[in-house]
Structure 1
C-alpha cells in the first residue's frame, strides 16, 4: 500500500510491505522507498517519524543518483566470458605492476558491491561489471588488487589508488551512478 510523508518541503512516497519478519526495516530499492513491517504491525507511522532524517538523506541521495545516471548508457555488448577475459588480462597486468597475484579470481552476482578481496588473497568480482565501460572495470580490478597489499581502506591503500587514478573520487562517484542505474534497469 502506498503512503507519503512530508519532510522539508518534499513529499516522499513509500510502500508498506507486510512480511513474515520480526523487526521492521526501511529500504530504498530499485528507486523506491519501502517500509517492511511484520504482519499485524500496528503503528508504521511511528517508524517513519523516528527515522525522518535517514529517510530524507537517502531520498536526496536517490534523487541525485537519478539525475546523475540519466545520461549514462549501459554497455550491453560484453558477455560474461568477455568480462572474465578482460578482468583476467587486467589482473595479470596490474599484478605484475604491483608485484602481487591473487590465489583465485571468481565471478558472481553481488547485491552490494563491485568486488571483494579476502585475507586469503581470493578476489570476487560482480558479474554486473559487464555493463561497465572498460576504464571502470580497470579501476575496480586495480582497487581489488591493491587489497592484496592493504586489506583495508587505510591511507596507504588510497595512496596506491591515487598513484594510478588521481581522480579516484570521480571513479567512485561514477561507479555509484552505474550501480544505481544497473539496479534500476537490470534489477540486480
Structure 2
C-alpha cells in the first residue's frame, strides 16, 4: 500500500516552499505538485531537491481537472495500483508524516474508501475549520454572509472517533485508488 499525494499550485510557490509538510511527506510518500501557474525557479529547485514530481501546467484548469491529471500521472508513470491511496491536499494544509501514517493505518483497518480529517485553522488545534458538513441547504451560504448560524456544520467537539459524514471540502480528501477509477 503506497500513498500518492496531489497538490495543486495556483501562484502559491512561496507558501509551498515555506510549509514543511510536502518536504516531510516526500521522504516516504509520492508527492506530485501540479502547477497551474508557471512554477518559479525556486519552486522548481525545491521540488528537485525534495524529490517531488512537478507537473507544469500549460493552461489554467479547475480543481477536478488538475487532480485528475495528477491521478493519471501517478497511475501511468508511478505505477499507482488499486490497493494504494490517493490524497488530494491543499498547499496551505500542514500535517506531519506521523499523522499521515496513522491515518493510513486507520483507513486500511476500517476498510475506508474515502476519508477526511479534522482540520484546524490554528497551530494550537483550538479553532475548528468547518471542512466537514451535512449536505448544505440552498440558503446555507447566504446565512454565512449574513452572520446567521448555520445548521449544516458538524459539531466537531462531539466527534471522538471516525464517523460517516455527508460532505467534505477538497482541502484534504484521502481516496482508496480503486474507488476513483477501478
Name the TM-score, length of structure 1 as normaliser.
0.28
Q: Which has the larger radius of gyration?
A: 1
Q: TM-score, normalised by structure 2?
A: 0.28
- Higher fraction of helix: 1
